[in-house]
Amino acid sequence: MPPWPRKRSARITNGRALTGTQDSPMKLLPSIAGPADLKKLSIEQLPQLAAEVRQAICDQVAKSGGHLAPNLGVVDLTIAMHYVFDFGHDRLLWDVGHQCYTHKLLTGRQHLLGKLRQRGGMSGFPEPRESNFDLFSVGHAGTGISTAVGVARGDTLGGEGWSADNADGRRVAVVIGDASIVNGVAMEGLNNAGTLHRQFLVVLNDNGMSIAKPQGAVAAYFDHVRLSQGYSEFKKTAREFAKHMPGGSTLAEIYHRLGEVSKNLAHEVHTNGWFEHFNLVTVGPVDGHDIKALVDVLNEAKEFDRPMVLHVKTVKGKGFGFAEQDSCTFHSPSPFNMLDDMENEGCRVELKKSGRSFTAAFGEAMTDLMARDPKVVACTAAMPDGTGISKVQAKFPDRVWDTGICESHAADMMCGLAKTGWKPFMAVYSTFLQRAFDQCFQEAALQGLPLRLCLDRAGLVGGDGAVHHGFCDIAMLSVLPNAVIMGALDEPSMKAALEFMASHEAGLTSLRYPREAVLDRFTNTACPPFELGKSRALIRHARPDVAIVAFGTMAHESAEAIALLGEYTVDLYDARFAKPIDVALLKDLLGRGIPVVTIEDHSIRGGFGACVLEACNDHGLDTRLITRLAIPDFWIHHGERKEQLVDCGLDPAAIARTVRSVIEGRSTPTSTTSAPTRSTSAV
């Protein structure tokens, strides 16, 4: 059954249906094999195409999950851009790549939509492996303008940049949205873009949202900005002049021919705008859902040989009532059902549940911790729902902050709070922690300040793929003197770890946990408190054949593997700490000649196993008895997390095979992982 009834398709009814074309005589979307087919349509047909694209995206996200609201908001804008530009030749870059679904459907990838974010299907982010229309594989925010500046400079140096004298050159456009414009790198890119002496278009998709409500003074400014009177007067006067000029119909020609008068008018375009400080002509805001108006302004913008910002106002979740009304929930929902609600003549949405998550457990644990300790404060960087901080913020609004997409600022701010005697916790996805490493080094670790990092989405993340895997946080943080790195096994261990962090004042601490449901496999016995550098025995024998030392939730896969090794005795330890390592445990095991297998969902390079090897070497222990299992040294792309574990040799069956080979001596234990065959399945 489709996620909403097809019979009501003319308009939105209580959020029930999209502006639809189900009764139209001919579908347009199936005929679009690429942008060339799009250009064959009349402008009057484009709204119908937009409705079909929205329907296709909603149908698929309802089945597989994915980024819904942000993609619905840019359907019209994306169609207009491909209608005007030739991005098979011109350059299109995306900042906040989760807005790219429409772009992909228009560039020959409709056949991949049915397996969105699954193995062999469409990635949820721009992906050059899929198409030459995607220039970068990108899932972080703030980078688009800077990379676009580099592309523009490269094309110009190579004689391929568009100009009035090189009509066959390449134009450059970058779409930035979901409030990533407030990111520091985006500001650096804007600052440099203003020095370009060529066409360069920044399209600001201003939907009034990031993942959550955008924060800060810049966001407040965009909430109040309106179409500048200066720009209106400029266009009015320019058109009057253009009437008397042969062929004078574009902004570029007008700019060059009007002399100082036009330059003064053009200055008015940005004098009242934020971007004046970056030497960028600003147009807008314009209606991002009026395709005809977008086509008109983009046709002018593509002929403008100066850096320009086109400010486009859009509605996140456009065309789907529930997504418009609750764009946070429907930013990236799990699969959902649309059910009839006859009483209200509409429908209701039910998100499919997958069990209690670590994120939910973290939110509750932090709420309890803050209730008991008034010195604890917390923050997140544009991820209040994704990290569970929204629940904490609702109860402690004066002690919890959302900084927007500004991880570096968030870390520095929390260090300032630590300096003044507070206990700061920063909730951040592991993949986004990379953006604040400098602050973890300079302002936290170097100062000896107790910044507390709560790393959600650590390890393999499933459908979001390589751009979001939390695979290098241990490697980054382990180089920092006195840093403490922990992994949560389940909900009780998460609570115990947070208690340890709240009381630890000697420096930076971190706790990593995955995007998974919490399991209760080891909750039949009480969870002991965390002691610095001490592991926890989960299964122990007097004389085991081998010992598995697992970091974090990989203890669950290890327990399943042990069940497949019934003929052997296998110890299992929850390492708890990647730094400092439990050297006493290693001395005991290796001293008795017991082989050790370390297991983690982090890169083999610089991860928990590497820390174990270093600790053994420092203490003169025999590293030949150690075998490491971890994420191999190649990219793991999107798919189900279980598939990714198989790719890495971290599923229970693969773990059991490795442990059996170690016990039976068929392969000599080594200090490197025996990497499985690399997946080469095409997307």
- Where in the chain are the domains? 1-225+286-353, 227-272, 358-512, 536-664
Cβ neighbours around 402 below 10 Å, total: 24
- The answer to whether 487 touches 552, Cβ cutoff 8 Å, is yes
Whether the predicted pLDDT of 309 surpasses 60: yes
Confidence of residue 677 (pLDDT cuts 50, 70, 90): very low
Tens digits of residue pLDDT in 67-117: 888 899 999 999 999 999 999 999 999 998 889 999 999 999 999 999 999
This prediction has a pTM of 0.81
Class of domain 1-225+286-353: alpha beta
The CATH T-level fold of domain 358-512 is Rossmann fold (3.40.50)
Q: Was domain 536-664 assigned CATH 3.40.50.300?
A: no
Mean pLDDT of 570-579: 98
Mean pLDDT of 461-469: 90
Mean pLDDT of 475-500: 98
The CA distance from 8 to 18, in Å, is 9
Whether the predicted pLDDT of 16 surpasses 70: no
The CA distance from 216 to 495, in Å, is 32
- The answer to whether 100 touches 345, Cβ cutoff 8 Å, is no
**Secondary structure (3-state) at 646:** helix
pLDDT in the model for residue 339: 61
Tens digits of residue pLDDT in 197-246: 999 999 999 886 544 454 544 444 444 443 344 444 444 444 444 444 33
Mean pLDDT of 368-381: 97
Q: What residues act catalytically?
A: 316, 407, 435
- What angle, 0 to 180 degrees and rounded to 10, lies between the N-to-C axes of helices 291-301 and 75-84? 40
Bridge pairing between strands 281-287 and 307-313 = parallel
Mean pLDDT of 329-344: 65
pLDDT in the model for residue 682: 31
Mean pLDDT of 558-570: 97
Whether the predicted pLDDT of 487 surpasses 50: yes
Cis preceding linkage at 580, omega within 30:
yes
Stated as kind and residue range, the H or E segment containing 601 is strand 596-603
Q: What share of the chain in percent tops pLDDT 90?
A: 68
pLDDT in the model for residue 349: 59
Tens digits of residue pLDDT in 261-297: 334 434 444 334 677 778 888 888 899 999 999 999 9
pLDDT in the model for residue 96: 83
Q: What share of the chain in percent tops pLDDT 70?
A: 81
pLDDT in the model for residue 313: 92
At 646, the amino acid letter reads: V
- The answer to whether 675 touches 581, Cβ cutoff 8 Å, is no
At 255, the amino acid letter reads: Y
Tens digits of residue pLDDT in 508-535: 999 999 989 999 999 999 999 999 999 9
Common-topology check for domains 1-225+286-353 and 358-512: yes
Q: Sort residue 556 into left (φ over 0), alpha (ψ -120 to 50) or beta.
A: alpha
CA within 13 Å, CB half, 152: 28
Whether the predicted pLDDT of 329 surpasses 90: no
Please give the mean pLDDT across all residues of the chain: 85
SS (H, E, C) 548-562: EEECCCHHHHHHHHH
Confidence of residue 342 (pLDDT cuts 50, 70, 90): very low
Question: What backbone phi and psi angles, to 5 degrees, belong to 95?
Answer: -110, 125
pLDDT in the model for residue 5: 36
Q: What is the largest CA-CA distance in the chain?
A: 97
Contacts of 662 (CB under 8 A, 6+ apart): 546, 595, 597, 627, 669
